[in-house]
A and B are shown apart, each in its own frame.
Chain A
Amino acid sequence: MYFCVNRKGKYLKFIMYSYNPTYALLIFIVVSMVLFLLFRPNRGLFWKIRSVYRVDDKIVIEDILKQLYHSEDKQIGINFLVNALGYRDSIIISGIDKMIDGNLVYFEGEYLKLTEEGHDYALKIVRVHRLWERYLAEKTGFDKSEWHGIAEQKEHETDDEEAGKLASSLGNPIFDPHGDPIPTISGKIAELDSIPLSGLKVGDIGKIINIDDNPEIIYKQILAENIHIGSQIKVLENNSTRVTFYSEGEEYRLAPIVAANIKVSIVNTPEEILEDNVIRLTGLKPDEKAIIEGISKESRGDSRRRLLDLGFVKGAEISIDLVNPFGEPTAYFVKGTTIALRDDQARKILIKKD
């Protein structure tokens, strides 16, 4: 085994004599664990330390502006900001000082108010934030639950020119993927005519137009249910303990406080009301045939276009061709060809069983 011992060299000899496989392995394990603790994604010590050093005035100021903008009807003082934003007191206070110098905010008693300039600035950040969310939704594969966090970072790094480019590359969208309006450069905002789902009566039919991504715990709960913007819903039960509604072939049961974060617009024109047998493609069973009713608004950008190009258009006949050993993806037979889709896409295709 030690065939190289016969050759000279101190360093070689050192390895040969002090080498012990067990120690080598132990050293290796310790080193890997240290590296893991330092660099593991998100919670690694290295990232944490770095993020502390990264806080700069611009980010603090912009976060404060946004906070004030989103709660303009509330009374907001320094303590509230410290709690909401999670920065240290001293950082917040020095941020506010700078903002007062820059004429972005003023004190009304102990409460902070936005000046007109501050309001415009805040609106610009909101615009950039929602543009980024739209971008993430249409052009990247990031999961919905991650859009907000990424946009939260990007909004501080994007200048006006980049924002303009972003907007035009997205075709100057009016709404972000949650259904919130994106302010235009001149500060115009589309009006939302909506009521919370929890405010609907039994039997009401509505269309989901907005899902609030704040607070995150509730948003994640809604996402887990696979509830989509653009879906038609019909309320079956609404009381203080739960809201039950029917949508696209399935029944959903939510706590009222969760339902309050879903905004709907009431549908009352009879032509717009979808029949009850409109369900999601995932609800199709082998040996059944159905007609495609359309693609949910939840499918956006390139992936929506690709589905249309592949022949998943209104009126096309569809059936299941092959089921996967793992249960996913499923191969559908549509317009003479077999095409496999994963469930998260099939869920966004609406069909009508006959």
Chain B
Amino acid sequence: MDVLPHSNCENCEHFNADGLKKLGVDTTDFDYIVALAGNPNTGKSTVFNALTGLRQHTGNWPGKTVTRAEGAFQYNEKKYKLVDLPGTYSLLSTSEDEEVARNFILFGKPDVTVIVVDANRLERNLNLVLQILEITDKAVLCLNLMDEAKRNNIEINIRSLAKDLGIPVVPASARYKEGIPELIQTISDVASGKIICKPHRIKNIPKDIEEAVRILSDKIKKEFPNIPNSRWIAFRLLEGDNQIIEALESGVFV
């Protein structure tokens, strides 16, 4: 199946408003785990509140959320546990302030990762998006703050973005609850396998590095046939990331 780019109207008709129930903090017996990742201050907590009906603190500065928060919603008979993460700029660092988010994205095994980005700062946000797409292939891009983008005369071609990234893209203004139904529908489609993503892989890497990564990731694949993101692990091993080495040794990835 091909990737369907999603735009506002494509989804509204599918959306089943009666099937949605905000469950607040009740996260028992969930069917899927959904992680909310993204750069700082892109509206992750606002999206989280819109989906769960909770009142997680939001604030207009990078770093408002520092611990992970959990909530849940139910849509069409399936229960989703939603995890709001602190913002991160990158998964390539080892800095302490980003540890919580990094660990959850890497080791928390979310069924769907919703990447919330700021439509006004797409280019810098893509830095993280492209890294996450190396790790998982079940992801949704929530293009948030669309209202501001409109005000700033930024027009985004959703279709081409979805095609380039290989994952569904949902434009939204979380604060005004715009795009939230579409987001829910898309999350459920990705979770259930109705949408299959073909995530973008980082291309612009010097030849010798690409070669080294290939050799290493082939070796990893041979030893651990079940690891889905051997390329990412190769990246990290080449950088000497101790945490990844430990994770390999303890078998977290398998």
A319-337 residues at the B interface, CB under 8 angstroms: 335-337
**Does B252 have its Cβ within 8 Å of any Cβ on chain A?**
no
Whether the pair A336, B242 counts as a contact (CB closer than 8 A) is no
Whether the pair B90, A305 counts as a contact (CB closer than 8 A) is yes
The distance in angstroms between the C-alpha atoms of A172 and B89, with both chains bound, is: 26
B79-126 residues at the A interface, CB under 8 angstroms: 89-90, 92-95, 120-121, 123-124
**Does A71 have its Cβ within 8 Å of any Cβ on chain B?**
no
Residues of B within 8 A of A310 (CB): 89, 124
Contact A335:B240 (CB < 8 A) given known A302-B95, A309-B89? no
Whether the pair B123, A336 counts as a contact (CB closer than 8 A) is yes
Produce 1/0 per residue, A291-311, CB < 8 A to B.
Answer: 000000000001001101111
Centre residue among A168, A306, A337 by max chain B CB count within 10 A: A337
Residues of A within 8 A of B242 (CB): 168-169
Residues of A within 8 A of B121 (CB): 335-337
Whether the pair B120, A336 counts as a contact (CB closer than 8 A) is yes
Residues of A within 8 A of B240 (CB): 168, 170-172
Produce 1/0 per residue, B121-138, CB < 8 A to A.
Answer: 101100100000000000
* Chain B interface, >50% SS class: loop
Contact A335:B124 (CB < 8 A) given known A171-B239, A172-B240, A306-B89? yes
Whether the pair A309, B93 counts as a contact (CB closer than 8 A) is yes
Contact A309:B123 (CB < 8 A) given known A168-B240, A169-B242, A171-B240? no
**Which residue on chain A has the smallest CB distance to residue B121?**
A336
B103 CB, min distance to chain A CBs, angstroms: 16
B212 CB, min distance to chain A CBs, angstroms: 15
**Which residue on chain B has the smallest CB distance to residue A170?**
B240
Contacts A169-B242, A309-B92 aside, 16 further interface pairs with beta carbons under 8 A come to: A168-B240, A171-B239, A172-B240, A302-B93, A302-B94, A305-B92, A305-B93, A305-B95, A308-B90, A309-B89, A309-B90, A309-B93, A310-B89, A311-B124, A311-B127, A336-B123
18 A-B pairs with CB atoms under 8 Å apart are A168-B240, A169-B242, A170-B240, A171-B239, A171-B240, A172-B240, A302-B93, A302-B95, A305-B90, A305-B92, A305-B94, A305-B95, A309-B127, A311-B127, A335-B123, A336-B124, A337-B121, A337-B124
B interface residues (Cβ-Cβ under 8 A, vs A) = 89-90, 92-95, 120-121, 123-124, 127, 239-240, 242
Which 9 residue pairs are nearest across A and B when measured between Cβ atoms? A171-B240, A309-B90, A309-B89, A305-B93, A335-B124, A336-B121, A311-B124, A302-B95, A337-B121
